[in-house]
Amino acid sequence: MNAKRPLIAVLTGAGISTDSGIPDYRGPQGLWQRDPSAQELVTLQPYLTDGLVRERAWLMRRDAGALAAEPNAGHRALVELERSGLPVRVLTQNVDGLHQLSGLPARKVLELHGTAREVQCVRCRVTGTMEDALARVAAGEPDPACRECGGVLKPRTVMFGENLDPVVLQQADAIARACDVFVAVGTSLQVYPVAALPQIAVENGARLIVVNGEPTPFDEAADEVIREPISRSLPALVRRLVAEQA
C-alpha cells in the first residue's frame, strides 16, 4: 500500500507577483510607502460615499495595467508542484488571477481577497468583467455605474473595511488544519485573519516554510526561512519538495 502523500498548502501574497510588474503594498518600495493616500482608493466607506475617490480608483486601475500582467517563474513553479502529483492547495491574498493564468486548476486556488478581474454592483450584486468596466472608463465614463440598476460598481475584491467571505475563510482554515507542509510565499503575514493560517497549520503539526524578502512575525516558528528572490528560490524549493517524495 502506498504511503499517504503530504498535503502542501501554499499561501501567496503580493511578493510573488512583483516580478510580473504588480507592486506590493507594505514592502519598502510598496504602494502604501510611495503613496499613502492610495489606500483610501481601496477602502470601502470612502469608495462608496465619494464619487471623486471612485474616479481616482478607476484611473488607478486603468493605469496599473494589472490585467496585462503575465505569470512569472514563481507562479509557474507552483504549477509544476501541482503537476508532480502531490496534493496542493494554493491560498492567495492576491487578486490578480495569475495563479489561474499560469495553469493552476481554479478548483485548487482559493482567492481569499476575491478577484480584480471581475466587478460587482454593491446594490443588485450583478457581476461583470473588469475588462468591460475599464473599456467604459477609456471611452469617457469616469465612474461607470451598474448597467442593470445604476448602482456603484466595485471590483469583486475584499476592500479595507470589508469582511472576508466566511465560507472562503472556513475553507482556508480547514486546509491549514489538514496540511502537512505550509509554505508562506511573498506575504508579510501581518493582515488578519489570513495571518493566523500559518499558526493554525503549525499547531496542527505542519512543517512551516517562509519565503519572503522581509522578516515576518512567523519566522521564529518556521522550520525554514528563505530570503532569496521568489522567482529563483520558489522553483528550487518546489524541486526539493518533489524530490523528497520521489
> How far is 225 from 228, CA to CA, in rounded Å?
9
Tell me what pLDDT residue 2 has. Answer: 47
Does 191 lie in the same domain as 147? no
The reply to whether 145 and 201 lie within a common domain is no
| CATH code of the domain covering residue 33 | 3.30.1600.10
Instruction: Give the H or E element holding residue 223.
Output: none
Q: Domain span at residue 94?
A: 1-22+71-113+164-246
The DSSP string of 177-191 is: HH-SEEEEES--S-S
User: 132 and 57, same structural domain?
Assistant: yes
Q: Is 99 a catalytic residue?
A: no
- The answer to whether residues 220 and 121 belong to one domain is no
- The CB density around residue 165, as the number of other CB atoms within 10 Å, is 15
Residue at which a domain ends, from 124, 157, 190:
157
> Which pLDDT tens digits describe the chain residue by residue (246 residues)?
345 789 999 999 999 999 998 876 555 555 555 566 677 888 999 999 999 999 999 998 888 877 888 999 999 999 999 999 999 999 999 999 999 999 999 999 999 999 999 999 999 999 999 999 999 999 999 999 999 999 999 999 999 999 999 999 999 999 999 999 999 999 999 988 999 999 999 999 999 999 999 999 999 999 999 999 999 999 999 999 999 987
CA distances (Å), 37 to each of 32, 40, 59, 150, 235, in order?
8, 6, 14, 27, 36
Same domain, 83 and 132: no
Three-state SS annotation for 123-175: CCCCEEEHHHHHHHHHCCCCCCECCCCCCEEEEEECCECCCCCHHHHHHHHHH
- The residue annotated as part of the active site, out of 76, 113, 117, 154, is 113
Q: Are residues 62 and 140 in the same domain?
A: yes
∠ Cα 76 175 179 (to 5°): 80
From 104, 129, 157, the end of a domain falls on 157
Are 54 and 103 in a shared domain?
A: no
Alpha-carbon span 138 to 113, nearest angstrom:
26
CA distance 137 to 66: 15
Which set of grid coordinates corresponds to residue 201? 497549520
* Alpha helix ranges (H) inside the chain: 31-34, 44-49, 51-64, 73-83, 98-102, 130-138, 166-178, 197-203, 230-244
210 and 96 belong to one structural domain: yes
**Residues 147 and 52 reside in one and the same domain:** yes
